[in-house]
A and B are shown apart, each in its own frame.
Chain A
């Protein structure tokens, strides 16, 4: 046993796969400790907040400030309000309105703004200018209006009489230390369509998906192994019947069967466990076939015949004389079943046939909602790409482990 393990851990492929898998498992265990709470809590009110660190504006205004005189602060502020494209667009407006722009340098902000303030008219409709473009100029004008509005902002609150009472001022050189602000929320992967923290949800979903994969893999392997052993060892009529059923299931595409069963169960009954069972119960056929063929080659070996002559029971022969010879194969099959179980859940959920949605996050459901909300077309990559990456990593690591094991146990592949 020890020797086998040593052999296994000598396979670089297995080790890489194992490390990735353990890293994912560790993240699943450790991250909820750092960032506890319900992963399905809708913290954002809108949809798809971008990844980043969110600082409470309310708390920031109540945080003690430091004065920092940064030489490029003014330029940065201006660039945010008035980009180079905006400057070109302003000239386009002047041209459309027939205003002389001879000698105007668009990098000369003051001159540009002066000409703009003197000539912009929100109600003007230059010929051939679309509504969308006119709306753009309105927004640009609002942006320009705030450029030189004032160097200080006043914070005011309503007093008992309902009048605004000045509470403080903010100047352009006031800075707060993010660490001192009472509420700062880091959302490394932003929020999803429901305003939920994607990273937190992802970690929790990866856990659920792995559990679904494990249950599906265990069921499929158990059913496949039992039937394969019986069929291969007992032979005769039992073999015929089992292979008849197996063949029927083999010719029906497994995924179609999976869709039909999931659909007919109905959404109310479809919890994560039920989905896992359904996946397991539709994917055992190839395990049965391969176990059976291995058992057939084993059953006439001398030690098995000896066992038979000694009067050992069927169960004992199977468990002690046959199973150990195919154990390595079964482990590899199990790993592959887990991997395909996770993928099957993702596929099912993507079609809207996964576990019902209010209880647990799964990787497939996250993709399903991202797709329903057109995350792929509106540029919200953080809602689906990390999910795809996670699914890929999990099945990649499992497959890598499988290949590694194969190299160790399969004599034809051994170096």
Chain B
């Protein structure tokens, strides 16, 4: 008996040792000087490589970023550059053409463009990518079927027909442009294979693992497990052709260690184990000012990055007290101390509302020029205006009748909650500041931080009454912005939509705004456009269906130059956006990286 125990123990020990060796054997050895390490993009194990599927959880290869598609492995027709709004040809040749009434757009695929199996990329691939999307309802299908009617191809030439309304006008030409920069093209032949092996069943096609996927981009899958994801350069990449980049991207490997949380990624960046970090790092300037680390951001001074979106507090219009009292909505927004939010939650990595007054626009010059600042100046508020907010509430008849320090509406004290997901610290800090503002104007506001899994089901539910003030960010940058963002703020098309991830999370309805939102995509004259946007901004600032709390980059871009250098920077004159060297035209940075020393 004793011997048996001994043998068993030995066996177990041997197994454990073998196991640990097996783990070592699986580990990939990446030469540091050939690998670009990322943090802040991939959380958890990759689910699939199926470019036409859903829920891939594969951020390095498949990710529709808010500022351009990530084209490391799969490519779009055009690359978007949010620094100047340009669309640069990737699979397609530069320059697309609209017909006169903007119902059809023509473009041609580059002659050099090839799939990884050596076949040409053709118009048929674009057609098949769109058609399968509509058929099985993936992101391409649901995102564009309302705007793109059909796509036709003739060899390398592609014509995209916009959906038209009853008057024969296109529904939204801007969204057609989004298709060009936001849709990764998949190979028609590969799509056929996938459809066939899944017997044409939409759900199984969406969930296909896609291990055999055919790609067109400069990198492909190399290794992935629950510890890291590695892409390897495809040295046969078509883009070496002079008509595209004329070279291969510099790093041979793209690696992303899967970190447990933000602090882990931040520590790896500080240690030089990560080259490009897409994480919010508070007081990031201390990394170089105090710690003397070779870390830099796109801009040397605050706000350090390019802010493209604005995390916003949405009012719930399912609650009568909020829906029926514009004065209450405005008063809370006026009382909030935005300077504290920006200094605290964003550690000043955002312009202030004094520098960039609130509107529907992000702080980029292009969007700011789209409305008349002077015309809406009277409607603006700077924040921390307790007296103004109190006066507004008194005037609206929302007064404290029973002297308990809290104002009443219809005999009930006004008590609201301010909600955001637990662990989203910068948002939590913002909600604390909003709650503090409530205290100053006699509105009871308590903070609530549910877990993300709960939060996401509640705030996307169109009839929820659990959350009163809650946070979410509208869209950042794309060819269709600021229209898309404005539509998210006020478009009634999202009202009542179940599982609503698209926009108008507060269920606000305004017919006047709806009419303007319909008109804008069809307007090409700049002056007219500006007038329409100004009108829309006026409604937004008067009605206050939501209020933005800060400006924020859609991607954080901090780089450690221990190994690699020549990352894009604000003053280098190259106009490569700080998009982590991966998104939209940001990928151009990969071709110009250099080793330090």
Contacts and interface: CB of A to CB of B under 8 A. Distances in A.
A225 B286 CA distance: 55
Contact of B296 (A45, A47, A132, A377): A132
B596 interface: yes
Interface stretch (B25-33, B90-98, B338-346): B338-346
A45 B447 contact: no
A38 B351 CA distance: 30
Nearest to B428: A372
Interface in A340-359: 352, 356-358
Given A132-B296, A352-B422, A358 B447 contact: yes
Contacts of A194: 344, 429, 432
Interface stretch (B81-89, B139-147, B180-188, B287-295): B287-295
Interface in A367-409: 372-374, 377-379
A46 B422 CA distance: 21
B596 A128 contact: yes
A374 B422 CA distance: 15
A374 B263 contact: yes
B464 interface: no
Contacts of A378: 282-283, 286
Given A132-B561, A138-B300, A268-B417, A195 B344 contact: yes
B294 A133 contact: yes
A410 interface: no
B406 interface: no
Q: How large is the interface on A (under 10, 10 to 19, 20 to 34, 35 or more residues)?
A: 20 to 34
Chain A contact residues, majority secondary structure = loop
B55 interface: no
A133 B295 CA distance: 9
Contacts of A68: none
B340 A135 contact: no
B296 A267 contact: no
B300 A135 contact: yes
A145 to B, nearest CB: 16
Given A130-B561, A132-B561, A138-B300, A193 B344 contact: yes
Contacts of A132: 288, 293-296, 561
Nearest to A377: B263
Given A47-B282, A357-B447, A131 B417 contact: no
Nearest to B425: A372
B296 A373 contact: no
Contact of A377 (B267, B433, B561, B597): B267
Given A356-B446, A357-B432, A131 B423 contact: no
Contacts of A356: 446-448
Contacts of A193: 344, 429
A46 B347 contact: yes
B348 interface: yes
A373 B345 CA distance: 10
Contacts of A128: 565, 596-597
Interface string A128-160: 101111011011000000000000000000000
A358 B433 CA distance: 10
A377 B433 CA distance: 24
Contacts of B340: 42, 45, 195
A46 B350 CA distance: 13
A131 B295 CA distance: 8
A14 interface: no
A48 B343 CA distance: 11
A135 B559 CA distance: 13
Contact of A130 (B300, B435, B596): B596
B425 A267 contact: no
12 contacts: A42-B436, A45-B344, A46-B343, A47-B343, A131-B565, A132-B293, A132-B295, A352-B449, A358-B432, A374-B262, A377-B270, A378-B283
Interface of B: 262-263, 266-267, 270, 282-283, 286, 288-290, 293-296, 300, 337, 339-340, 343-344, 347-348, 417, 422-423, 425, 428-429, 432-433, 435-436, 446-450, 559, 561, 565-567, 569, 596-597
Closest 5 CB pairs of A and B: A130-B561, A132-B294, A132-B296, A45-B343, A372-B425
